[in-house]
Amino acid sequence: MSLLIGALTIGFILSLLALGVLISFRIFAFPDITAEGSLTLGAAVAATLLVNNVNPFLATLAAVLCASAAGATTGILHTKFKINGLLSGILVMTALYSVNLHVMGRSNVPLLSAHTFVTQAEQLGASLLGAAESVNVFGWDVSTRDISVALFSLLSAVGVAVLIYAFFRTDIGTAMRATGDNSQMIRALGVSDGNMIIFGLAVSNGLVGLAGALLAQYQGFADVQMGIGMLVWGLASVIIGEALVGVRQLGYLVGGAVMGSVFFRLLVAIALRWGLDPNDLKLITALFVFGALILPGLISKAKRSKQPVSGGAHA
């Protein structure tokens, strides 16, 4: 049971990453690998501030702002200096590796005695549920601390998802969606598509940084390596989410990304439980995304090649 709760908690935290990837990858069709650096940046900034006794809210906010700045940098490299999108992201991600080491001062910052969102959630849970070590959930005994943290991550994910959904229904959010859809049209309606991409990547990476900050607080440390492979994990969540909801409408996409992230974490937890070598996890995730990317094309191709046969039989 604690395995399940753990998977749900990480799933909700990383759904913020999935929402960030949804913006860059689905709304702008921009493969923004900056995410791998900005996730670590978010974790590094939050952890460093937390061990220096900064309030968890301020520490997390600072993490979001720093990660946003990283995303904006990628956007500026791409739109103002006309550097290929993927390369812009790689440049910023590479630079961020050094930045992250400088922020942390070493490769790993533990949060052993720091006051974090997680410890706050645990305290809040303890005061609400009483001093009991565990509570009964659907017949299982679950530790009060785990369930409080899981609820906290659920509320964060849902809260942010609702905010993102609302944002995309505003004037500027609608313009952002249209920019990815048809940049010529949005320029003709008076919006600078370049500025919109910079802004969108800032929002996207801010979400990724938030995921990093919360992940560091949950697992109790920030590590300079923690961002590696995160973009593909985010992509996998977005793709699973799309398969789960089946509709490409805004609300479904946002909700799907959250659900996809949670579902993906559950799959990973089950696979690991069955004895999957953790070293193979990223390989399998990459293969999964590869399959998900080419499958729609293969299916429609198979459908097309069937049609002449049936047409011929008809004739």
Partner 1 sequence: MLELNSIRKTFNPGTPNEVRSLQGVDLKLRDGSFVVVIGTNGSGKSTLLNAIAGTFFLDSGSISLSGNNVTSWPEHRRASLIGRVFQNPFSGTAPTLSIAENIALASRRGQPRGLGWALTPKLREEMHESVRSLGMGLESRLDNIIGSLSGGQRQALTLLMATWLKPKLLLLDEHTAALDPKSAEQVIQISDRIIAQGKLTTLMVTHSMQQAVTLGDRLIMMHRGQILHDLSGADKRRLRAEDLLERFEEVRRADLLDESAAEMLRRMYV
Where do contacts with partner 1 occur on this chain (CB under 8 A)?
167, 169-175, 177-178, 181-182, 184-193, 248
CB of 181 to partner 1, least distance (A): 4
Query: CB-wise, 169 or 273, nearer to partner 1?
Result: 169
Count of Cβ atoms closer than 10 Å to residue 91 Cβ: 18
Query: CB-wise, 27 or 45, nearer to partner 1?
Result: 27
What is residue 290's three-state secondary structure? helix
- Give dist(CA 27, CA 178) in Å, integer: 8
CB of 15 to partner 1, least distance (A): 22
Query: CB-wise, 190 or 278, nearer to partner 1?
Result: 190
CB of 62 to partner 1, least distance (A): 23
Query: CB-wise, 147 or 198, nearer to partner 1?
Result: 198
Q: Look up residue 157 and give its two tokens.
A: 């994910």
- Say if CB 19 and CB 273 are below 8 A apart: no
Q: Look up residue 295 and give its two tokens.
A: 């499958």
CB of 177 to partner 1, least distance (A): 6
CB of 250 to partner 1, least distance (A): 9
- Say if CB 253 and CB 241 are below 8 A apart: yes
- Give dist(CA 56, CA 38) in Å, integer: 19
Closest of 97, 30, 46 to residue 70, by C-alpha: 97
Count of Cβ atoms closer than 10 Å to residue 130 Cβ: 9
Query: CB-wise, 7 or 197, nearer to partner 1?
Result: 197
